[in-house]
Amino acid sequence: MSDGATIAFFPEAAYGPALNSVAIAQACRERGHEPVFITDPGMEGVFEEYGFEEQYVNMTEPMPPEEKAEYWDEFINRHIPNFDLPPHEQTDNYIKECWEAIVETAEWAEKELPDALEAVDPDVVCVDNVVMFPAIKRHDAPWVRITSCTENEIPDPEIPPYLSGCRADDRDCFERFERKFEDAIEPVHEEFNEFLEANGVDPYPLGQFLETSPYLNLLLYPEPMQWERHEPLDPERFQYLEGCVRKEERYDVPEFGERNDAPLLYLSFGSLGAGDTDLMKRLIEFFGSQPYRCLVNVGEYIEAYDESAIPDNVELDNWFPQPSVIDQADVVIHHGGNNTTNECLYYGTPAIVMPYVWDGQDNATRVDETGHGIKLHRSEWSDEELVGSIERCLEDDEIRSRLDATAERMQSENGPEKAARLLDALVEEHV
């Protein structure tokens, strides 16, 4: 182990990348390093809760919490109809608007990020995002790209385009999505390239918003989910972590009376999906008619639910220590977020994936086509179809066997510890 180094983590201001970085930071701390998190003020306290220092950089226009919450609610409500669309039909609405917002985060961050990096003075900077921040390249320290989302975030002509939700053998889907995607994002990409050039970074080809690191790139996707690339990634610069699950407190499942021995389901659609309270209420009502125990993560919207209308076999909360819950669950129903996808694989828990947007589309398809679970449309399902999917997850020996093998592999690899070893070696080489 090298002498303790300062390792800056700069994840996207979202819980998925943030908590993956926490897992790696925990392992780095155990090796004697000092992790520091650079983050948007909207994530204040998330990393301090795990004992890490926080350094704040505004990545959006500062606004009061109430105004930001109102903006977020309006954003979700505006896009709920788009959540039902196939990915190629989301390119000129949700996907385009997200890339516009992402580019804006890079532009805002550039105002304060150079000073934050100078204050932290890191020996290594780990970036888990989908967009380049020029200050990272200009700073005098090696930088590492962490790819929390699906492996196809790093493109290859033989694998499905990022965000497309295409099956691996559907070339027509590849081409249809890429054509619509490039048309939709061309204006914002031109703006982004102007921003890069103004800050000393060469422009990127259409569709690319982040390059790979010349030092080290860490991908979370486990081997059984990986695609077969035309050009395999160089192991000198690219390493797969086989997932990255943080250490979390144990969750004690509540008592459900006479149903204590019933299968345990866990439902979580992430902070975005939780905003579609109509769909969440439909699922809760469905659970009430079934012989299962059900834990439901409703995020920040718990006040939207009438406690007296919640079935006896359903427990709502605004947050769960998810790794512990998934470890104990019999089936997980989720939106395809990268954390939940990897945690289900890590603990060998079968999943029904109902994707909304972004990399959830890719994860849902990949889980289904590799036999690790079932993909369902987020809203176009009948009670009979959902019951059948749950029972298949509970009883299908092939799914169970495949998940057992994947879980064993992922747990033996210990992704956070592997990442910490690789970062330790990078410190030895460059610091």
For 240-262, the pLDDT digits (tens) are 998 888 888 899 999 998 899 99
Judge whether residue 10 has pLDDT over 70.
yes
Q: What is the structure's pLDDT at 1?
A: 45
Q: In this predicted structure, which of 56-70, 74-88, 371-385 has the lowest mean pLDDT?
A: 56-70
pLDDT at 72 over 80: no
pLDDT at 68: 77
**Secondary-structure breakdown of the chain: helix, strand, coil percentages, each rounded to the nearest 5:** 50, 15, 35
**pLDDT-based confidence at residue 39 (cuts at 50, 70, 90):** very high
Place of tokens 């956070």: 416
CA 333/CA 265 separation, integer angstroms: 7
The residues spanned by each domain of the chain are 6-246+413-430, 257-411
Q: With bands split at pLDDT 50, 70 and 90, how would you rate the model's confidence at 139?
A: very high
Kindly indicate whether the domain formed by 6-246+413-430 is annotated with CATH number 3.40.50.1370: no
CA distance readout (Å), 102 to 20, 59, 161, 248? 19, 9, 19, 29
The mean of the pLDDT values for the chain is: 94
Would you say residue 73 has pLDDT above 90? Answer: no
pLDDT (tens digit, 9 = 90+) per residue, 252-305? 999 998 899 999 999 999 988 999 999 999 999 999 999 999 999 999 999 999
How would CATH label the architecture of 257-411? 3-Layer(aba) Sandwich (3.40)
Taking residues 80-97, report their average pLDDT.
Answer: 96
Closest by alpha carbon to 136, among 154, 147, 146, 124? Answer: 124
Percent of the chain with pLDDT over 90: 88
In the predicted model, what is the mean pLDDT of residues 108-134?
97
pLDDT, mean of residues 11-24: 90
**Of residues 74 and 212, more confidently modeled:** 212
The contacts of residue 75 (CB under 8 Å, 6+ apart) are none
Cα separation, 199 vs 131, whole angstroms: 14
Question: Do the domains 6-246+413-430 and 257-411 sit in the same CATH topology, yes or no?
Answer: yes
Residues 426, 33, 221: CA angle, nearest 5 degrees = 60
CA-CA distance, 81 to 328, in Å (whole number)? 34
